[in-house]
């Protein structure tokens, strides 16, 4: 079972590039972030022609997530549960489904808030969203399933996950509060798939478009697959498809694929 995550940075603007990767790699399941379109504008037919069932939680111009599966999808959820009844969240950042394969997996796709700039409601929203994710992940872990929470976490976990740590000290992605919330999430019993199978410094998944970041390999690792103990036991390896960043009209993120024994 190959489960992929990819922030495509506008699915329609990069459709040819995205479909080319799907045709070549054919993941069993994929979660996409920053699709940047409402549900009706998502190019579902193009993916269905490749054999995928499509679940979309979209939003005009911003955000938006999708889940694609070659197996049946069940128990679909769009949006994180709220911690209190008076909370409202209009941002499309979460999708979840049970993948009805021979070995079922519950797959979650997230696009965690960026949080910049620090000291504004955007950073408060990021930390509040992480608290909601923590609470929901705790509930999901109680099912003792093969659980994969994959996506763009907008968190650089450790100094080894960024080429130039000093340049990111004031950024929401590398703030102590963000990193502490990520650690707390893992401490529920979740495993960072990349760290389990490789863990080498330099496993970057994002390179900014500015200042020659790609050419100078000034990357960061912010796209993660966190696994329940049951899924971690089945993990064989993780592949970061960094070559996608060097192609024409690329996303600033690259696909990350977890390979699981079934």
In the set 71, 136, 224, 253, the catalytic residue is 253
Q: Average of pLDDT values for 36-59?
A: 98
Give me 138's structure tokens.
């705790």
Dihedrals phi, psi of 79, to nearest 5 degrees: 95, 140
Q: What percent of the chain has pLDDT over 70?
A: 98
Selection from 34, 50, 190, 247 nearest residue 42 by Cα: 34
In the set 28, 152, 171, 223, the catalytic residue is 152
Instruction: List, for residues 200-215, the tens digit of each pLDDT value.
Output: 999 999 999 998 999 9
**CA geometry: angle 211, 91, 29, nearest 5 deg:** 80
Known catalytic residue at 241: no
Domain ranges (residues) in the chain: 2-260
Known catalytic residue at 253: yes
Report the pLDDT value the prediction gives residue 87, as an integer from 0 to 100.
72
Q: What whole-number distance in Å separates Cα of residue 187 and Cα of residue 185?
A: 5
Report the pLDDT value the prediction gives residue 86, as an integer from 0 to 100.
66
In this predicted structure, the answer to whether residue 84 has a pLDDT above a threshold of 80 is no
Residues in a beta bridge with 107: 97, 148
Report yes or no: 226 and 186 within 8 Å, Cβ to Cβ.
yes
Q: Report residue 90's pLDDT band, with 50, 70 and 90 as the boundaries.
A: confident
> Cα-Cα-Cα-Cα dihedral of 102, 104, 108, 109, to 10°?
0
Q: What is the mean pLDDT of the chain?
A: 97
Prediction pTM value? 0.97
Q: Report residue 85's pLDDT band, with 50, 70 and 90 as the boundaries.
A: low
Report the pLDDT value the prediction gives residue 4, as an integer from 0 to 100.
99
In this predicted structure, the answer to whether residue 177 has a pLDDT above a threshold of 90 is yes
Report yes or no: 195 and 211 within 8 Å, Cβ to Cβ.
no
In this predicted structure, the answer to whether residue 39 has a pLDDT above a threshold of 80 is yes
CA 223 distance to own-chain centroid: 5
**CA geometry: angle 145, 147, 153, nearest 5 deg:** 160
Q: Is the peptide bond before 191 cis (omega within 30 degrees of 0)?
A: no
Instruction: Give the DSSP letter string of 115-152.
Output: -PSTTSHHHHHHHHHHHHHHHHHHHHHTT---EEEEEE
CATH number 3.60.10.10 is the correct assignment for the domain at 2-260: yes
Give me 57's structure tokens.
């939680």
Known catalytic residue at 152: yes
In the set 111, 153, 194, 204, the catalytic residue is 111
Q: Average of pLDDT values for 239-259?
A: 97
Q: Residue written as tokens 């909601």?
A: 132
């Amino acid at each position: 079972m190959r489960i992929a995550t990819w922030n495509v940075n506008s699915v329609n603007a990069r459709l040819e590039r995205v479909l080319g990767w799907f045709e070549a790699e054919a993941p069993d399941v994929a979660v996409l972030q920053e699709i940047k379109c409402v549900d009706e504008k998502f190019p579902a037919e193009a993916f269905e022609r490749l054999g995928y069932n499509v679940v979309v939680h979209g939003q005009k111009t911003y955000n938006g997530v999708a889940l694609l599966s070659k197996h049946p999808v069940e128990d679909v959820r769009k949006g994180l549960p709220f911690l209190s009844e008076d909370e409202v969240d209009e941002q499309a950042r979460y999708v979840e489904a049970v993948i009805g394969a021979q070995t079922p997996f519950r797959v979650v796709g997230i696009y965690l808030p960026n949080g910049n700039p620090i000291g504004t409601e955007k950073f408060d929203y990021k930390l509040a969203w992480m608290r909601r994710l923590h609470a929901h992940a705790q509930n999901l872990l109680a099912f003792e399933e093969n659980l994969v929470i994959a996506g763009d976490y907008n968190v650089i976990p450790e100094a080894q996950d960024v080429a130039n740590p000093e340049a990111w000290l004031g950024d929401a992605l590398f703030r102590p509060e963000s990193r502490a919330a990520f650690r707390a999430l893992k401490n529920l019993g979740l495993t960072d798939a990349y760290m389990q199978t490789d863990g080498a410094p330099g496993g970057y998944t994002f390179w900014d478009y500015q200042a020659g970041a790609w050419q100078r390999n000034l990357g960061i690792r912010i796209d993660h697959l966190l696994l329940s103990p049951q899924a971690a036991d089945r993990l064989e390896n993780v592949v970061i498809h960094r070559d996608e960043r060097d192609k024409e009209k690329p996303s600033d993120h690259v696909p990350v694929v977890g390979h699981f024994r079934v």
